[in-house]
Amino acid sequence: MKNLFKMTLVLAAAALTLTGCDCFKKMAKNAEAVTITCTPDVLVLNNGKVVADIVAEIPAKYFDKKASLKVTPALVYEGGVTKGSTVLLQGEKVADNGMLVKKGESLSIKRQVEFAYKPEMQVSNLVLIVEVKCKSGKCKEYTLVNANTGEVLPADTKLTAAEYGLVIAKGINTLQAELNYAEAMQDAANNYKRVTTVVTKADIVYRINSSRVAKKAVETEELKSLKAGVEANKTNDRVAQSLYVNGYASPDGPEKFNDKLSEKRSKTGLKAVEKLLADAGLNIDAAAYGEDWEGFQAAVAASNIADKDLILQVLKMYSSSAEREKEIKNMSTVFKSLKTDVLPQLRRAQVVNSADVTGWSNEEMIAIIKEGKVSTLKLEELLHIATVCDKVAEVALVEATKSGDARAWNNLAVYYAKNGNYEKATECLNKVQGTSAELNNNYALVYAAEGDVAKAEGYAANASAEAKALLAAAKGDYATAAQTLKSGYNAAVVNYMNGNVSAAKQCLASDNSAKADYLRAIIACKEGDLKGAQAQLNSAVSKDASLKAKAEKDVNLAALKK
């Protein structure tokens, strides 16, 4: 904002001449040469701060040797004034602690001012407050001057800083605050499946080399339980079950003999099961699998046999069933244990009930929650439905947290963040036990949203690329952020702030939300298309009426008010 101050000083000098501030009379002669610039001329919110660089160029032979001048930058907004550090300038014949301005030398004064941002500062001006003092005349103590008129103000002045301060920057661009950090937060995955398969098994055990089903073999608790499950499934129209009888032989005889034996066992086992489940009315399939080496390996691994690791090693070394059997029998001591502890349980017909259970549909789960029966849903169902329906998500996730599952607390944090409650989101993340990629990512984004970028960076190393890009944007490094963010609202904000309005428009191409229309209005203003800007703003307000009040305070839309 160049040359803003020089005309004011001319007016001020004229007024001061009349009011008796003697040392400023001569300063009026070269006042037009004084310039003040502020960068940026529209202030910008960055990382919770508003920063501006002010440069004042004072020409040689301007400053009176007996003059003192206090200049204080201040941010003036509705209901408040926040002052920066004062600069004290003094002539050569003034004994004070200010910056010396020599009569015959020009002086360039550079100062950076910084203000901690508060929401009420959005509609504000950066002004310079000026006070003067002379050794003689009526300004022997520092006296406030109206920098816009040159009037020396009385001690009991009723003017505000907004009225007597010299405006060097107008408004604050707060688009950085519009970044949607929650958009990059990550839900923890759930294991929900609409259809789950429940497999129940029971064995009909035979004597060695026999395929006859003994009476006791079908009276076991295991088979009774399987039968009860089959009958219960028949009454549930959400369950589709398939039954199989698989015949096996223990791997301690001739392979061909065992193949035939397993086939016989599958047939006799089938007859026994058909009789056991006669009332179920189900088709039951049967198959023979010969020597049960897979079952043998599992049984050995689960046993207390001292040399079981050696047996398992032999199984891996040989692919031939005959070679396996031969080598194991050579370990005579071990083989005795196998004969008593392992092989008898492999002489069997295994009954398998594979039941496909169809769970609640999304619509049914939503209805259950709305009926107040959320506690009847299982953990995975609760985690799933929260991702499907936002209207019941909070209720579902709060219920899920009762399990203590870390995923529930993480996902509830994401829910609160997406609804603008970052305080509750942080509380939920703090209740997560353990660590995860999602947790690190979400902590980084929540702290960034709360304005604590330094704390957010402590979690950035394990965060997603999108989260890292948003952290870069939170620090004002829009060029870096734009390299990762390629589409969507956040990408549009980043590109706009990086000066690439064309890319910003492309990023919004498929977004028809109110906030996207509002940003399009800002972009149109930037391009000088005020008619288009008004149309986009009208569209935004029609979708979200609260944006009308926001637009009234937005410096990015100031051109629409002229």
pLDDT at 352 over 80: yes
Cα distances from 265 to residues 205, 252, 269, 273, 283, in angstroms, run: 10, 16, 6, 12, 18
Q: Which helix (H) or strand (E) holds 136?
A: none
pLDDT band at 2 (very low <50, low <70, confident <90, very high): very low
Q: pLDDT digit string (tens) for 295-346?
A: 999 999 998 888 888 888 888 888 888 888 888 777 757 778 888 889 999 9
> Average of pLDDT values for 354-368?
96
Backbone angles phi, psi at 27, to 5 degrees: -65, -25
Which residue has better confidence, 30 or 72? 72
The pLDDT of residue 10: 45
Q: Which of 476, 521, 518, 558 is nearest to 50 (CA)?
A: 476
pLDDT band at 25 (very low <50, low <70, confident <90, very high): low
Strand bridging mode 43-46 / 172-173: parallel
The pLDDT of residue 523: 97
The pLDDT of residue 384: 98
**Which residue has tokens 């049967």?**
286
pLDDT band at 7 (very low <50, low <70, confident <90, very high): very low
Going from N- to C-terminal start, the domains of the chain cover 4-173, 175-193+360-469, 195-358
Q: pLDDT digit string (tens) for 466-508?
A: 999 999 999 999 999 999 999 999 999 999 999 999 999 999 9
Amino acid identity, residue 129? I
pLDDT at 380 over 50: yes
- Among 11-20, 302-311, 356-365, which stretch is predicted with the lowest mean pLDDT? 11-20
Q: pLDDT digit string (tens) for 388-406?
A: 999 999 999 999 999 999 9
Cβ burial, residue 371 (10 Å; 0-12/13-18/19+)? exposed
pLDDT band at 20 (very low <50, low <70, confident <90, very high): low
Q: pLDDT digit string (tens) for 241-283?
A: 999 999 999 998 899 999 999 999 999 999 999 999 998 888 9
pLDDT band at 32 (very low <50, low <70, confident <90, very high): low
pLDDT at 9 over 50: no
pLDDT band at 19 (very low <50, low <70, confident <90, very high): low
The pLDDT of residue 152: 77
Which residue has better confidence, 58 or 147? 58
- Please tell us whether the domain made up of 4-173 is placed in CATH 2.170.140: no
pLDDT at 16 over 60: no
Report the interhelical angle of 308-317 vs 332-341 (nearest 10°). 100
The pLDDT of residue 114: 96
Cα distances from 340 to residues 114, 221, 253, in angstroms, run: 85, 22, 15
Cα distances from 308 to residues 248, 326, 345, 545, in angstroms, run: 22, 16, 17, 75
Give all strands (DSSP E) within 265-407, no chain letters.
Answer: 284-291, 348-358
The pLDDT of residue 214: 95
> Average of pLDDT values for 118-130?
93
- CATH superfamily of this structure's domain 175-193+360-469: Tetratricopeptide repeat domain (1.25.40.10)
Quick one: fold of 195-358?
Answer: 60s Ribosomal Protein L30; Chain: A; (3.30.1330)
| Mean of the per-residue pLDDT values of the chain | 91
The pLDDT of residue 558: 94
Task: Give bridge partners of residue 331 from the DSSP assignment.
Answer: none
